[in-house]
Amino acid sequence: MDNPSGPAPATDSHLPPGLRTPLRDDAFARSDDDKIAAISGHFEAIMRELGLDLTDDSLAGTPRRVAKMYVKEWFKGLDPANRPEVRMFDNRYDYHQLLVERDITLFSCCEHHFVPIVGKAHVAYLPGEHVVGLSKLNRVVQYYARRPQVQERLTRQIAEELKQSLGTDDVAVLIEADHLCVMSRGVNDTSSSTLTSEYGGRFATDEALRREFLRQIGK
């Protein structure tokens, strides 16, 4: 292991222990470039083991392409440097009704099989003295999605981050997603999908509010 004495990962230190993505203490001791080089070598070994000819010009670049995709795209949400800054504005408009950001594109990766989870996230909150820049809601979803995940943890991580960043418990998150591990292998079920939700603050206690949220996202 290179540099196991590197800094402890700051990833998820703001979340309760049960909601943190399991990471080693030396998770960020190596640079992205070093990780890409190492993963590229490991993936090349997998391809060789499968019998693929890596001198073929279509396959030759695949190990590096996969490594770059893992580090820079699929799993970039592991790196606390990519955690979005959630900017809030004064609620000058005095808007205190439900705000729903629906149909947020969700692309994640099943941590059991390393295949895609594809779906939509719907998030809502009740503004108090501040309102959030809308795109930050999408960014929070994307940050936690871009990791090896299970849908339950992803749902709760997004809700907890929103509670902290927006400064209110009045937050709702609902995720509907298709798991490629269910669709393309194992049970090979292409019609089922998975819904998970987390309701905080008034969403947990006020059934009418919850119903309004569900109505607005078409549920």
Binding site for ligand GTP (CB under 6 A): 110, 112, 150-152, 179, 181-182, 186-187
Smallest gap from Cβ 89 to ligand GTP, in A, equals 34
- Is there a contact between 167 and 201 (Cβ–Cβ < 8 Å)? no
181 assigned binding-site residue: yes
Residues from 149 through 208 that contact Zn ion (CB under 5 A): 181
Minimum gap (Å) between residue 173 Cβ and ligand GTP: 15
Known binding residue 109? Answer is no
Active site residue 179: yes
Which regions of the chain does DSSP assign to beta strands (E)?
88-90, 99-110, 116-125, 130-132, 148-149, 171-179, 194-199
Instruction: Please spell the DSSP secondary structure of 170-216, one letter per residue.
Output: -EEEEEEEEEHHHHSSTT--SS--EEEEEE-THHHH-HHHHHHHHHH
Instruction: Name the nearest CA neighbour of 70 among 105, 106, 111, 103.
Output: 111
Give catalytic status of residue 109 as yes or no: no
For the bound state, the minimum distance from the C-beta of residue 101 to ligand GTP, rounded and expressed in Å, comes to 22
Q: Out of Zn ion, ligand GTP, none, which partner does residue 41 contact, by CB within 5 to 8 A per kind?
A: none
Q: Contacts by 200-206 with C-beta closer than 8 Å and gap 24+? A: 200/159, 200/163, 200/169, 200/170, 200/171, 200/172, 201/126, 201/163, 201/168, 201/169, 201/170, 201/171, 202/126, 202/169, 202/170, 203/124, 203/170, 203/171, 203/172
* Contact call for residue 20 and Zn ion (CB under 5 A): no
At closest approach, how far in Å is the CB of 134 from ligand GTP? Answer: 27
Q: Is 161 a catalytic residue?
A: no
Contact indicator for 101, 137 with CB cutoff of 8 Å: yes
Considering only residues 67 through 86, tell me which ones interact with Zn ion, judged by CB under 5 A: none
Which residue, 182 or 209, is less far from Zn ion as judged by CB?
Answer: 182
Nearer to ligand GTP, 36 or 158 (CB): 158
Angle among Cα 37, 40, 46 to the nearest 5 degrees reads 150
Q: Which residue is nearest to ligand GTP (CB)?
A: 186
Spot the catalytic one: 101, 161, 179, 198: 179
Does 113 appear as a known binding residue?
A: yes
Q: Taking CB within 5 to 8 Å according to partner kind, which of Zn ion, ligand GTP, none is near residue 122? A: none
Least spacing, CB of residue 118 vs ligand GTP, in Å: 12
**Residue numbers at the binding site for Zn ion (CB under 5 A):** 110, 112-113, 181
Catalytic center residues: 110-113, 151, 179, 181
Q: Which residues are annotated as a binding site for Zn(2+)?
A: 110, 113, 181
